[in-house]
Chains A and B, each alone.
Chain A
């Protein structure tokens, strides 16, 4: 039996591998353990199996956070995996470092979620991004309703 990459249902995979339905389910189960298959559907929908020769990488970083909170969705430029806790404030700084117009626009939506302003401004100071954070915040405030930055952090040179 040869390893097959592609998108299948149980029936098409069984056909491609020349296996019975039961053996195909067992085969998929083995692939799942190796993280080589992604399943969508189920219940009333037919299950669709995406099979790849390399493991699917589960990300939980910048792009996941931005795509969760922003109206503007981004296609990840890289896989971002965080081991530990990743905050909204750190994501804003990362967005500034990535720096292209669409990323900045999407990042600005994160200001709606900022709770810890001192953390944001300390990070901004550490990475020399204070002015850019303020600029992005002002842009966000002009475009949509979002949380207010404490006065002590505004207009500092």
Chain B
């Protein structure tokens, strides 16, 4: 397990081994820790906008002893059918899931790039800039990735944050449906599960069903 402090120290360490400045976006558990939703995570999920930056980052973590592993057994079969799989690296308990511009069909485009929650600059010899995606995108991505504990994470966010903008989540899912045909179904499934414990207005479901038809 990686704690908030471990995560920050690890990023600082990695920035020492970078050959050039790198910018990436944090999602999943990593982003949740930056928000303060949780205090530990199993893996560090990052998405890069260019292959060059991902390669520079991989070179740095390989110098630190991380080895590439397979995504099988971690992501579901259905999720892995998608072309946009992450490259995964691990060392002991710690694991990096490194995506390129796209998370199982969810495109990181201009709308998302300029709408982030926080920016962490790790400045040593080179600069590692980690931008934290907005909570709405984190929830939506957690619905798409379908890993063990992803639903628990969504529940944690919903429980801790009363100001989640569900309209924004649904609008983004609709916008992304061309890239990922399952996104609306996955989101609906998670929302139906959530409905058992929290109140979600029926107009949200109506909006989803209209788009599915």
Binding site for B on A (CB under 8 A): 5, 35, 53-55, 57, 61, 78-86
Compute how far the CA of A38 lies from the CA of B188 in the bound complex, rounded to whole angstroms. 38
The residue among B35, B116, B121 with the most chain A CB atoms within 10 A of its own CB is B121
Q: Report 16 cross-chain contacts, Cβ distance below 8 Å, ordered by A residue.
A: A35-B36, A53-B160, A53-B161, A54-B160, A54-B161, A57-B36, A61-B119, A78-B119, A80-B118, A80-B121, A81-B118, A83-B12, A83-B120, A83-B123, A84-B123, A85-B123
**Contact partner of B123 among A35, A80, A82, CB < 8 A?**
A82
Find out whether the CB atom of A84 lies under 8 angstroms from the CB atom of B160.
no
Known: A54-B35, A54-B36, A55-B36. Is A83-B118 also a contact (CB below 8 A)?
A: no
Q: What 9 pairs between A and B have smallest CB-CB spacing?
A: A84-B123, A55-B36, A79-B118, A54-B36, A82-B121, A83-B122, A81-B120, A80-B119, A53-B160
Is B51 part of the contact surface with A, judged by Cβ < 8 Å?
A: no
For chain B, give the interface size range.
20 to 34
Can you add 6 more A-B contacts, CB < 8 Å, to A53-B162, A54-B36, A54-B37?
A57-B118, A61-B121, A81-B118, A81-B119, A82-B123, A84-B12
Instruction: Give B108-127 as 1s and 0s: 1 = Cβ < 8 Å from A's Cβ atoms.
Output: 00000000111111111000
B11 partner residues in chain A, CB cutoff 8 A: 83
Find out whether the CB atom of A81 lies under 8 angstroms from the CB atom of B121.
yes
B36 partner residues in chain A, CB cutoff 8 A: 35, 54-55, 57
Known: A54-B36, A54-B37, A57-B36. Is A86-B123 also a contact (CB below 8 A)?
A: yes
* B5 vs chain A, min Cβ distance (A): 11
Compute how far the CA of A71 lies from the CA of B123 in the bound complex, rounded to whole angstroms. 28
Find out whether the CB atom of A83 lies under 8 angstroms from the CB atom of B160.
no
Find out whether the CB atom of A78 lies under 8 angstroms from the CB atom of B116.
yes
Compute how far the CA of A81 lies from the CA of B8 in the bound complex, rounded to whole angstroms. 11
Find out whether the CB atom of B161 lies under 8 angstroms from the CB atom of A83.
no
